[in-house]
Structure 1
């Protein structure tokens, strides 16, 4: 892939949060999503006859060498989903504070299932960590937050979701039309049946919940079977998450975040809406911020405040914390990944006896 095209696809993937694609889907059980998807499909519109769809088809025929008849047949099968439009208009994560968000993703069951997932895929995770420089526990946590380790990948047909949002949701039509285009291209490249693929209400797909542009840019065929199958191949999904983080700037061995203590009267001024680390630790310390963990003096961080169960929590996010937010542009999301990763790693270490088998392997959940 040409460098400029890859950068463009990367930029598109960074807009994942703006699309509201991932976390809201995780807040609902997969079976409930599937039921909703089936119940709320509107009377089928004839998308192929709409002017904007004709222009979309013209573009793919001219620039991507698609068959016009093929596209008309595919889009003729697409259904408008009122449920998709309902969900995209009120993403659940925007209504939550950290204390509520944490209760959803930091459960003992999710931690235990993370240990089980790690035990089942220990060899793959170990190889991927060495090859990509991304820690196994971070990969496990992202998959755990995204889809409960592959259990909740979404029950909406991707073709329906993306067609609905492309042609019946004007506020984000440009973004989703691009994603629909990427989806049709990747289906051709990977020899996938577009009418069968399922995902979230916004078209995020598979175990790692990749949008189509992210799939084309970062999905990995780790099994070597000729297809990057992030729906059913955990090995492909694991490597794809690692590849995504590495390509978006993950720095191996570097810190992620630290809780902080604040003093004085200037600390509030250092709080930033952005999680991009811009200030040095020395600058932050001058404003009354002191990390609880030992961090390299040359580190840069972003200071932010979260509302926890016991009141305000103060945190410093480092470069790798920011990289996690490229997966989903929310500091709550990144904090859930960070804390779940930490707890899964701790539990995994204590569950590996001398036999080399995890407790989870011996006694399934």
Structure 2
């Protein structure tokens, strides 16, 4: 974890490119332009900033990882990565161990505990895998040598350096994903700056080591992105006779609900739970070998604001439901801690 340390770039008067290796020809020029912009825009010390950028390393492995995202997998394969007996059991244990924090977050932000836990479970397996890449390497590689999304990652690099200065993080020690996401909830730098919270009152927003900060930050993110307290996420559905006329089918690209539950019912879409006729809804199709249909509601779309993928949102939803069910079962039998997690794992293995 990146420990709190005074944000002071060890002085280095060398050129930005002096310690970079195997980077594309344009890398050094892009880094130099970026450094000048940061000095002019935010008052960074030029020599210190160049020292940090000189320590960054271009990584072809990071570029390669960007070109094979999990979300390119079909739904059946994607689901198998995240909705597993081990991850369900881990979620039950995490929910038990952090019950008071989750209850407090639900009161303050209106987000159900199982959703918060499932996000952390899908993102990092409850903190077991927070990434192995230095954030500075990921963001410089993608900001200076990945043209397809360079503008986005340059903005994230800017946000990361500002975050490091504001939070007194060492920018050369912070580690995360190949895309520069950080901590147990895998916040990108701009999200960290805008939505992370200090929930334990220690004066820091620590998304690596403080479960209180992690839980509240995830809940705050959802509150700020349209989460509707107490409303469901999605229901498995079955169109009676193909795709109804006049209904827009949501497949790869998440979109806000564009019709209502009443219109879907009237068009022949069936699902098990009652819903108000006027509640916003959409019909979602997932590739599961055979087509799999779901009615998605506002909260399903809210999950896609965390990661812009219907597959991601569905994995979070299904994992959250498994955690909720197994947590309730364990609680009804008076199980706690390791025993509840073990029971959840055994039950999930049988499902």
Tell whether the structures are fold-level matches, with TM greater than 0.5: yes
Question: How many angstroms does 1:360 deviate by?
Answer: 3.8
Change (3 A) 1:74 1:253: same
Question: How many angstroms does 1:357 deviate by?
Answer: 3.1
The equivalent residue for 2:180 is 203
The equivalent residue for 1:161 is 138
Task: Tell whether 2:338 aligns with 1:352.
Answer: no
- SS of residue matched to 2:281: strand
Change (3 A) 1:141 1:295: same
Q: Aligned partners of 1:46, 1:225: CA distance in 2, in Å?
A: 43
The equivalent residue for 1:85 is 63
Checking the alignment, whether the CA contact within 8 Å between 1:111 and 1:344 is kept in structure 2 is yes
Q: Aligned partners of 2:271, 2:341: CA distance in 1, in Å?
A: 39
Change (3 A) 1:172 1:362: closer
Question: How many angstroms does 1:64 deviate by?
Answer: 0.9
Q: Aligned partners of 1:224, 1:48: CA distance in 2, in Å?
A: 44
Task: Tell whether 2:51 aligns with 1:73.
Answer: yes
The equivalent residue for 2:93 is 116
**TM-score, L = length of structure 2:** 0.86
Structure 1 unaligned residues grouped into runs of 5+:
1-40
- SS of residue matched to 1:50: helix
**TM-score, L = length of structure 1:** 0.83
Q: Aligned partners of 1:306, 1:269: CA distance in 2, in Å?
A: 19
1:100-139 aligned at under 5 Å gives the runs 100-139=77-116
Question: How many angstroms does 1:42 deviate by?
Answer: 7.7
Checking the alignment, whether the CA contact within 8 Å between 1:46 and 1:76 is kept in structure 2 is no
1:56 pairs with one of 5, 30, 34 = 34
Q: Aligned partners of 2:210, 2:22: CA distance in 1, in Å?
A: 33
Alignment RMSD: 2.4
Checking the alignment, whether the CA contact within 8 Å between 1:47 and 1:75 is kept in structure 2 is no
Q: Aligned partners of 2:142, 2:109: CA distance in 1, in Å?
A: 34
Change (3 A) 1:285 1:352: closer
Task: Tell whether 2:319 aligns with 1:340.
Answer: yes
Partner deviation per Cα, 1:196-255 (whole Å, 9 max, x = no partner): 000000101110001100100101111111111101111111111000000011110112
Change (3 A) 1:46 1:196: farther
Checking the alignment, whether the CA contact within 8 Å between 1:203 and 1:211 is kept in structure 2 is yes
2:279 pairs with one of 288, 291, 299 = 299
Q: Aligned partners of 1:312, 1:214: CA distance in 2, in Å?
A: 34
Checking the alignment, whether the CA contact within 8 Å between 2:114 and 2:321 is kept in structure 1 is yes
Return 289-298 or 191-200, whichever deviates more.
289-298
Structure 2 unaligned residues grouped into runs of 5+:
1-18, 346-351
Checking the alignment, whether the CA contact within 8 Å between 2:176 and 2:182 is kept in structure 1 is yes
Question: How many angstroms does 1:99 deviate by?
Answer: 1.1
The equivalent residue for 1:285 is 265
Q: Aligned partners of 2:258, 2:67: CA distance in 1, in Å?
A: 32
The equivalent residue for 2:12 is none
Question: How many angstroms does 1:312 deviate by?
Answer: 2.2
Task: Tell whether 2:207 aligns with 1:227.
Answer: no
Question: How many angstroms does 1:188 deviate by?
Answer: 0.4
Question: How many angstroms does 1:105 deviate by?
Answer: 1.0
- SS of residue matched to 2:49: helix
1:28-67 aligned at under 5 Å gives the runs 43=21, 50-67=28-45
